C-alpha cells in the first residue's frame, strides 16, 4: 500500500503531493508534508549514485520507506509503511513519469507546475486508497477531462528531459517542431488532422581510443522509440534490416550484415515475423514507448566518428595542438564539446582556432580547457592551438594533460547500421496519416588518451 506520492524539483520544491494514509499523528494537515523534507534531506546527503529505496526510522512507529526515481530532473517519490515489492513501486513511478510526459507534452518542472490539475486527476484514476488501479493509457484517456497546457521543452537532445520526436535540429526540420512538446490529448478544437506517428532510432556510443589511435573499447546502447498520436489503435509493422543478425553465432561468413549482441522487446511487440523477415508488429497506445532495446559491445561496425591527433609540448608554457577530423561524410555533428584536462594551477590560456564559430575557455576550477564547436560538417577537419600558462612548470606537469573527453550529437546517423526499412499501418487510418523516422547518435562516453 502506498501512503504518499509526491514530486519534488531538483532543489526540493514541492510540486505535487498526494496523501493516501495518515502515517502518524504528527503528520496531519500541513505537518504531514514534513515527510517530504525528511526524504529530501536524506536523499541529498547520499554520496555517489542515489539508491532508489531510502528507509527512515520514525521514533516508536514503523519504519517508513521512501521509493523514488529521477526523471526529467525531478524526484518522483512514493512512501509506504508496509512491505510491498520495491520493483512494483519503481515501475509505477516510471510509468507515472511517462504518463505525465504523454499527457503534458514534456517532462520538466515547468510543465508539472503548469499542469498540476491534470496530474492530480491522473493520480486519482491511477491510485485508489493507496492501491494501484491502472497505468494504461487506453483506459485513462476515457476518464481524463483536464486539458494540458503545453510548454516548450528545455533542451533539444537531453534524453532525461524531453523526447526527440519532431525536434528541430540546427541542420533541418525532419518533422513538425511542436511534436516533442505536444500532449497526446490535444484541445477539443484540435482533434482532427493529428494522425501522426514518430519513430526514432536512438543510439548512445561509448568509446575509448588509445594514444596511438587504436580503438580499445566500444559499446553501443540503442533503442527504437515511438510516439503515437493516432486516435484509434492500428497494428504497426516496422521493418528492420533484412540482414540483421543477433549474436555472433548468427553471422555467416564475411557478409556486411548488421549485428547486435542482444536485444529486448516491449511486451506488446509481436515477434512471429521477426525471425524470418525482421518485422516488428505492435499496436501502439497513444503516447511514447520503447519497442526495442539493443546492445553491441567490443565491436564498432564503422570507424569511430571522430579522430583526434593531439600534440603536447613543454616550452615556457604547455603548448597543446589539436587536429580533429570528422570521419562521417553523410552526417552533421552538433554541439561538439572537447574537454582537455590541464595541470593544477593553470592561470591563463591563449588560443588559435581554425574557424570563427569555435569557442574555447580555460576552467581553472575544473582543471580543464573546454573547446566547443556548435556545428561540425561531415568529412571536415578543424584545428586548434592552445598555450596554457602554468606557474612552476615541470616535466611532471605534462603527465596531468589528458585524457581528452568528447560529447556530441550525430544527426541522421547510427553507428550500428540499424535502419528502418518501412513503417506500415493496418488497417489504413481514415484521413491523412503522417509517419516520421529519424536517426540520432549521442556520445555517452568518448575518451581519447594522449
Q: With 60 as the cut, is the pLDDT of residue 167 above it?
A: no
Q: With 50 as the cut, is the pLDDT of residue 166 above it?
A: no
Question: Which stretch of DSSP H or E encloses residue 277?
Answer: helix 274-277
Q: Is 297 helix (H, G, I), strand (E, B) or coil?
A: strand
CB 371 within 8 A of CB 340: yes
Q: With 70 as the cut, is the pLDDT of residue 429 above it?
A: no
Residue 142: per-residue pLDDT: 82
Residue holding cell 504518463?
99
**162: nearest Cα among 197, 192, 200, 194:** 200
Q: With 70 as the cut, is the pLDDT of residue 177 above it?
A: no
**67: nearest Cα among 76, 48, 59, 135:** 76
DSSP-assigned letters across all residues of 123-166: HHHHEETTEE----HHHHTTT--PPP-----S-SS-TTTS--TT
Q: With 60 as the cut, is the pLDDT of residue 81 above it?
A: yes
Q: With 60 as the cut, is the pLDDT of residue 170 above it?
A: no
Residue 156: per-residue pLDDT: 38
Strand pairing category for 63-71 and 53-57: antiparallel
* pLDDT range class, residue 316, cuts 50, 70, 90: low
What confidence tens digit (pLDDT) does each residue in 237-260 have?
999 999 899 887 655 444 557 899
Alpha carbons 311 and 323: distance in angstroms, whole number: 9
Strand pairing category for 404-411 and 434-448: antiparallel
Q: Is 274 helix (H, G, I), strand (E, B) or coil?
A: helix
Alpha carbons 201 and 198: distance in angstroms, whole number: 10
**Is the peptide bond prior to 403 cis by the omega test (within 30 degrees of 0)?**
yes
Question: Which stretch of DSSP H or E encloses residue 263?
Answer: strand 262-265
What cell numbers appear for 345 in the block?
594551477
Alpha carbons 221 and 235: distance in angstroms, whole number: 27
pTM for the predicted model, two decimal places? 0.70
Q: With 60 as the cut, is the pLDDT of residue 197 above it?
A: yes
What confidence tens digit (pLDDT) does each residue in 266-289 have?
988 999 999 999 999 998 888 888
Residue 338: per-residue pLDDT: 92
Summary mean pLDDT of the chain:
79
Q: Which domains does the chain have, with CATH numbers?
A: 4-141 (3.30.450.60), 196-302+415-448 (2.60.40.1170), 306-411 (2.60.40.1170)
Alpha carbons 322 and 380: distance in angstroms, whole number: 14
What confidence tens digit (pLDDT) does each residue in 400-418 have?
887 899 999 998 889 999 9
* pLDDT range class, residue 31, cuts 50, 70, 90: very low
Beta strands (DSSP E) in 298-347 are: 306-314, 318-326, 332-341
Residue 408: per-residue pLDDT: 93
Residue 47: per-residue pLDDT: 67
DSSP-assigned letters across all residues of 353-392: ESSTT-EEEEEGGGTEEEEEEEEEETT-EEEEEEEEE-TT
Q: Is 32 helix (H, G, I), strand (E, B) or coil?
A: helix
Q: Is 233 helix (H, G, I), strand (E, B) or coil?
A: coil
CB 163 within 8 A of CB 228: no
Amino acid at each position: 500500500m502506498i501512503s504518499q506520492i509526491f514530486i519534488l524539483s531538483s532543489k526540493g520544491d514541492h510540486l505535487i503531493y498526494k496523501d493516501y494514509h495518515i502515517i502518524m499523528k504528527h503528520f496531519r494537515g500541513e505537518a504531514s508534508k514534513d515527510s517530504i523534507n525528511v526524504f529530501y534531506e536524506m536523499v541529498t546527503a547520499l554520496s555517489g549514485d542515489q539508491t532508489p529505496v531510502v528507509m527512515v526510522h520514525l521514533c516508536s512507529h514503523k519504519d517508513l520507506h521512501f521509493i523514488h526515481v529521477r526523471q526529467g530532473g525531478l524526484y518522483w517519490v512514493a512512501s509506504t509503511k508496509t512491505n510491498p515489492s520495491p520493483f512494483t513501486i519503481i515501475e509505477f513511478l516510471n510509468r507515472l513519469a511517462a504518463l505525465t510526459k504523454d499527457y503534458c507534452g514534456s517532462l520538466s518542472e515547468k510543465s508539472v507546475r503548469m499542469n498540476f490539475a491534470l496530474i492530480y486527476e491522473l493520480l486519482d484514476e491511477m491510485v485508489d486508497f493507496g492501491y494501484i488501479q491502472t497505468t494504461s493509457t487506453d483506459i485513462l484517456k476515457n476518464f481524463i477531462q483536464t486539458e494540458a497546457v503545453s510548454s516548450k521543452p528545455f533542451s533539444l537532445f537531453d534524453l532525461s528531459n524531453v523526447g526527440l520526436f519532431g525536434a528541430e535540429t540546427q541542420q533541418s526540420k525532419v518533422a513538425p517542431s511542436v511534436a516533442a512538446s505536444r500532449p497526446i490529448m490535444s484541445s477539443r478544437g484540435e482533434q482532427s488532422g493529428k494522425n501522426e506517428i514518430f519513430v526514432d532510432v536512438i543510439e548512445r556510443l561509448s568509446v575509448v581510443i588509445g594514444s596511438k589511435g587504436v580503438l580499445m573499447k566500444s559499446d553501443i546502447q540503442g533503442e527504437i522509440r515511438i510516439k503515437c498520436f493516432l486516435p484509434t489503435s492500428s497494428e504497426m509493422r516496422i521493418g528492420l534490416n533484412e540482414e540483421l543478425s543477433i549474436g555472433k553465432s548468427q553471422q555467416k561468413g564475411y557478409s556486411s550484415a548488421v549485428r547486435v549482441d542482444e536485444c529486448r522487446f516491449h511486451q506488446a511487440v509481436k515477434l512471429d515475423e521477426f525471425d524470418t523477415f525482421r518485422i516488428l508488429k505492435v499496436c501502439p497506445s497513444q503516447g511514447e514507448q520503447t519497442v526495442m532495446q539493443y546492445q553491441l559491445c567490443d565491436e564498432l561496425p564503422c570507424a569511430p566518428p571522430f579522430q583526434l591527433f593531439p600534440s603536447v609540448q613543454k616550452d615556457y608554457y604547455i603548448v597543446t595542438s589539436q587536429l580533429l577530423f570528422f570521419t562521417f561524410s553523410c552526417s552533421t555533428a552538433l554541439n561538439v564539446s572537447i574537454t582537455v584536462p590541464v595541470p593544477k594551477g593553470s592561470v591563463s590560456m591563449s588560443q588559435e582556432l581554425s574557424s570563427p564559430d569555435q569557442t574555447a575557455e580555460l576552467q581553472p576550477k575544473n582543471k580543464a580547457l573546454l573547446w566547443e564547436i556548435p556545428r561540425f560538417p561531415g568529412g571536415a577537419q578543424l584545428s586548434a592551438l592552445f598555450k596554457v600558462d602554468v606557474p612552476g612548470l615541470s616535466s611532471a606537469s605534462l603527465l596531468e594533460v589528458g585524457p581528452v573527453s568528447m560529447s556530441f550529437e550525430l544527426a541522421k546517423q547510427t553507428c550500428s547500421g540499424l535502419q528502418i526499412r518501412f513503417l506500415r499501418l493496418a488497417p489504413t487510418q481514415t484521413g491523412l496519416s503522417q509517419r516520421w523516422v529519424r536517426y540520432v547518435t549521442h556520445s555517452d562516453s568518448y575518451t581519447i588518451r594522449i
